[in-house]
Structure 1
Amino acid sequence: MTADVVIVGNGALGLSVAVETALRDRSLRIVVVGSEARPGSASVAAGAMLNCFAEVTGRTGEHPASRAKFALAREAARLWPGWLERLAEAARHVAVPVRSTRGTLVVLGARSTGDGVGSMRAIRAAAEEHGEPFQDVDPYGIGVLEAEAGDQPVDALYLENEGAVDARHVLASLDAAASGLGVTRVADEVVSLVTAKDAVTGVRLSSGATLPAGAVVLATGAASGRLIEQLPPGTVQPLLSGTGVALETQRVRGEAVPYVVRTPTLVGGCGLHAVPLGNGVEYLGATNHVYFDAPAGPRLGIVQPLLSGYIAQFDRNIAFSAVRRWHYGLRPVTLDTFPLLGRAPVPRLFFATGTYRDGFHSAPAIARHLAGLLTDGPAPEHDPYAVFAPGRKPIETMTVDDAAERFAQMALLVAVERGMRLPYIFGAEPIAAACRQRALECVEQLGVPVALAPEILGAVSEADANRIRQVADYLSTVAARP
């Protein structure tokens, strides 16, 4: 079998690229490679919040790359309603209803630090700037929440146009649409890229078979990292795994939330969120811990504060809910935390990964971008996603000292959320100073002064000597470029 396009990965991004490309050019032979079980898939585990403004932080507008990422999220939000309709049409005679929820309530808990206050302020400012409707909500009169005493929300706002979809329903709809469009599916794993004359000419499967292709798209999430490692040194930055755990619960006491309820995005983390799935079932997420080599499952010390956080900050009645299912997925995280989108420096290789926590939400917009490249449609006069080119040097949005300060903020935020209380005679500055020093030591280990996000510095602090050496070699290689 020979394909015009091979897409590595059958999650939300891989299938979206396949469907959009097939819709544009029905003559293309498109093959999607991926295990039916989708082990470690972020798409399967996703809460699938269609949040754009609710994700805004005080840092969203600080750098051109951050602004481009926000623009990508806004474009995806605009496309989602029509995208679901197009999937239903492409599926032909297979009806796959997709449950969606409208509305997002953002609440700031009493345990939060100044970073949370800044995020709430930034959400309001961004909504006002772009004409996005929102309502300020009395945090002490939210009828759908019954937080524990002392942990009641201190601020809240409602975004009527944001919400969520059921990730499992969307994947089923994508499967049906791909089938209806004649996309070939191969239930296997890609173990390596096949190259000839410095160009990618196909992929090699775990079965030993080779699948020749005119173009290859890497859209297999965190698993793309092992294929990146096979490219010439310095070609594309390393990919890490952002581990996330969530659970589905059945309400026993009280009413399930009628819309998405979440905390704002905080430094180094994604906060808490509850998504209604219907019939009293709620999706409760999620943790966020970045590793170079992800563990087989979530650590108990990370899960415990997640569960206590729901009960204390959202609704103490959740303590009585029955656990139906646990979700554990690996988010693809680049060294600079920005996506890898578009043509790679290696001919005939394309990327649609590195999306961190935004892959599911951004899928319709990313699919349009990749499909345009794959079908050689008219190139835009100005490519809004050029900043995310896979062969770029790591984007630095701050100084090394700023990065160390943010690492200290993340450490203190986690400590406060997990119950740290210092006596009045002590301040938190000695703890913050130790964290700053640890962050600077991590940068020193890498041998190149590079400003990394706090969660990436956390991964460096836990990495073994081999991983440190690999990242250091990459950074020294790209630093030598003109």
Structure 2
Amino acid sequence: MSVRQGAESRSFDVLVVGNGALGLSLALVLTRRGQRVGLLGQPHRPWAGSTAAGAMLGSFGEVTTSLVASQYGRQKLELGMKATAMWPEWLAALEAEVSGADIKTAEGTTVILNAIGTSEIDDANFAVIREELNRYEQPFEDIDPVDLDWVDAEPISRPLRAFQIPNEHAVNSAALLERLEAAFVKTGGTLVTELAAEVTHTGDQVTGVTLANGERLTAGQVVLAAGARTQKLLDTLPVGPRIPRLVSGYGVSALMRTADGTAPRSVIRTPNRSFACGLHVVPRGEGQVYLGATNILSPEPRVDPEMRDLVFLLQCAHRQVRRGLWDSEVAKVQVGNRPVSVDGFPLLGEGGMENLWIMTGTYRDGLHLSPLLSQEIAARMLGEEPTVDLDTFTPVRQPLQAWTREQVIQDVVDHTIGIGYEQDWTIPVDWHGWIEKDLRPATAAWAEELDAEFTPPAELLFLSRLSPEVATLLRDYYAVCRKNR
């Protein structure tokens, strides 16, 4: 039920809708700045991405050839670098404000190139991570795979190469959310533990939020930071159709109690692959590790895991990282929903109506970017000069076309083939080429059938062939884009 502190608590300077890492961080920054802030969200965060996140604080570990092939992707990388630099001070301030469980859990990130992948994806992404580290003069150190701490993969999945990124750590997402919430309340913020049903407005001016229980809250400014569920609220506003629609990057992760009570000191991860964020193992202390994470795009957020995703994740972890995980206990299975815009890039800034702000669409980077984005959005809301250019990612926009249609089609083909190898398919050697030859023209024909002008990112183009709902969603959105040019 809602937190009620009398009639005066029903009106706020700012309402932040969404209590994941982004919403909590912004609410805390605004409260520290003297704003009366109401933070909306159910305590168990049923559709959040933050609760199931590995919470790796890294920019370069996520780099792919596709990301740095566009100006928009490079801008996103540079935002991530700025966020990485802010985390030590951000954590120190939190720990000074409120006590709680340790937040930081990993020292550095170890990137492995293992035998299970494909050269088109794994080798290329492994190489481009190193290239970008060199470009930005960031430290890393090669490691002989035989010297890898804690790694004991099965022989056919063994790591072939590896390197350590010393400045990319990880945090315990549950401990982080608890500490953020405690600091927000201690600083004077108000938790409203109901679900927002719609954004209220008079003409082109947003005035507040109506809760699922029918109660209306008013505010001078409203921020939509509800992750993938933000789309439900955008659908209640006239500006909604002009903003790239959101889908969910549904994912499954697991917490394991290791059989021997050990855990690695660093994050252990592969490069991104198979339309996902790569396999990663993150220490969580006390003989626990986090295994993550699958990524399946879905038109709606999900709350329950599918059996095939959980089985796939557990098999990958024990085969590719540590065989001893086979005897370990599954302490918890988690489901998260990453907010993915249909052009693949964040929605950050003024929302196209007076008093409306949007802070979502960050895909896999929301938690990592939270210290930076909370400071930057707060500055804009308070009329201050921002320090980072976010104009590219303004919510009301035409879809960002980061890649040519040919590049997207090639990505679809490469990642589809990669899924087969990671799932250990057994096919005659020359069938790979035959499948690819059939898959490429079929994907190209589908892209043309979907829309003659716009091409969504690879994972959305792939999904739209399987989901009539997603295909319709994209066609309708592209039609609105042409109308509003």
Alpha-carbon distance between aligned partners in 2 of 1:429 and 1:9, rounded to the nearest angstrom: 46
The offset of 1:166, in angstroms, is: 0.5
DSSP 3-state at the match of 1:308: helix
- Cα contact 2:47–2:302 (8 A) shared by 1: no
Are 1:206 and 2:212 matched, yes or no? yes
The offset of 1:152, in angstroms, is: 0.8
Name which of structure 1's ranges 168-177 and 438-447 shifts more when overlaid on structure 2: 438-447
Q: Which residue, out of 474, 481, 484, partners 1:481?
A: 484
Normalising to structure 2: TM-score of the pair? 0.94
DSSP 3-state at the match of 1:140: helix
Deviation per CA, 1:179-218, whole angstroms, max 9, x where unpaired?
1110111000011110102121111100101111111111
Deviation per CA, 1:253-299, whole angstroms, max 9, x where unpaired?
47322211000112521111111111111111110110113454232
DSSP 3-state at the match of 1:269: coil
Alpha-carbon distance between aligned partners in 2 of 1:156 and 1:379, rounded to the nearest angstrom: 38
Q: Spell out the pairing of 1:212-251 with structure 2 (5 A cutoff).
A: 212-232=218-238, 234-251=241-258
Partner of 1:151: 157
Are 1:272 and 2:279 matched, yes or no? yes
Aligned Cα RMSD in Å?
A: 1.7
DSSP 3-state at the match of 1:317: helix
The offset of 1:342, in angstroms, is: 0.7
Are 1:81 and 2:85 matched, yes or no? no
- Cα contact 1:8–1:32 (8 A) shared by 2: yes
Partner of 2:427: 422
Q: Spell out the pairing of 1:260-299 with structure 2 (5 A cutoff).
A: 260-266=267-273, 268-299=275-306
The offset of 1:445, in angstroms, is: 4.3
Partner of 1:118: 124
Partner of 2:467: 463
The offset of 1:438, in angstroms, is: 4.1
Are 1:99 and 2:104 matched, yes or no? yes
Name which of structure 1's ranges 340-349 and 431-440 shifts more when overlaid on structure 2: 431-440
Identity %: 32
Deviation per CA, 1:38-72, whole angstroms, max 9, x where unpaired?
11221111111111111112233221111110011
Letter in 2 for 1:13: L
The offset of 1:301, in angstroms, is: 2.4
Q: Which residue, out of 155, 162, 165, partners 2:168?
A: 162
Alpha-carbon distance between aligned partners in 2 of 1:384 and 1:167, rounded to the nearest angstrom: 27
The offset of 1:118, in angstroms, is: 1.0
DSSP 3-state at the match of 1:61: helix
Name which of structure 1's ranges 323-332 and 230-239 shifts more when overlaid on structure 2: 230-239
Gaps in structure 1 of 5+ consecutive residues: none
Name which of structure 1's ranges 283-292 and 131-140 shifts more when overlaid on structure 2: 131-140
Q: Which residue, out of 447, 450, 461, partners 2:451?
A: 447
DSSP 3-state at the match of 2:336: strand
Are 1:255 and 2:255 matched, yes or no? no
- Cα contact 1:408–1:433 (8 A) shared by 2: no
Alpha-carbon distance between aligned partners in 2 of 1:295 and 1:101, rounded to the nearest angstrom: 29
Letter in 1 for 2:459: E
- Cα contact 1:292–1:459 (8 A) shared by 2: no
Alpha-carbon distance between aligned partners in 2 of 1:472 and 1:159, rounded to the nearest angstrom: 42
Counting matched residue pairs gives 474
Partner of 2:3: none
Are 1:472 and 2:482 matched, yes or no? no
Partner of 1:412: 417
Partner of 2:360: 353
The offset of 1:140, in angstroms, is: 3.1
Q: Which residue, out of 17, 26, 31, partners 1:8?
A: 17
Structure 1 pair 395/267, CA: closer, same or farther in 2 (3 Å)? farther
Partner of 2:68: 61
Normalising to structure 1: TM-score of the pair? 0.94
Letter in 1 for 2:472: R
The offset of 1:84, in angstroms, is: 1.1
Structure 1 pair 340/85, CA: closer, same or farther in 2 (3 Å)? same
Gaps in structure 2 of 5+ consecutive residues: 1-9
- Cα contact 2:465–2:471 (8 A) shared by 1: no
Q: Which residue, out of 161, 180, 186, partners 1:180?
A: 186
DSSP 3-state at the match of 1:306: helix
Are 1:193 and 2:196 matched, yes or no? no
The offset of 1:158, in angstroms, is: 0.5
Partner of 1:336: 343
Structure 1 pair 292/80, CA: closer, same or farther in 2 (3 Å)? same
Q: Spell out the pairing of 1:314-329 with structure 2 (5 A cutoff).
A: 314-329=321-336
Alpha-carbon distance between aligned partners in 1 of 2:117 and 2:262, rounded to the nearest angstrom: 25
Partner of 2:79: 72
The offset of 1:341, in angstroms, is: 0.6
- Cα contact 2:274–2:416 (8 A) shared by 1: no
Partner of 1:31: 38
DSSP 3-state at the match of 1:234: helix
- Cα contact 1:234–1:475 (8 A) shared by 2: no
Are 1:137 and 2:143 matched, yes or no? yes
Structure 1 pair 296/45, CA: closer, same or farther in 2 (3 Å)? closer
The offset of 1:310, in angstroms, is: 1.0
Alpha-carbon distance between aligned partners in 1 of 2:302 and 2:36, rounded to the nearest angstrom: 37
DSSP 3-state at the match of 2:167: strand
DSSP 3-state at the match of 2:410: helix
Alpha-carbon distance between aligned partners in 2 of 1:376 and 1:29, rounded to the nearest angstrom: 16
Alpha-carbon distance between aligned partners in 2 of 1:469 and 1:423, rounded to the nearest angstrom: 37
DSSP 3-state at the match of 1:81: helix
Deviation per CA, 1:162-190, whole angstroms, max 9, x where unpaired?
11011111001101110111011100001
Structure 1 pair 112/2, CA: closer, same or farther in 2 (3 Å)? same
Letter in 2 for 1:125: E
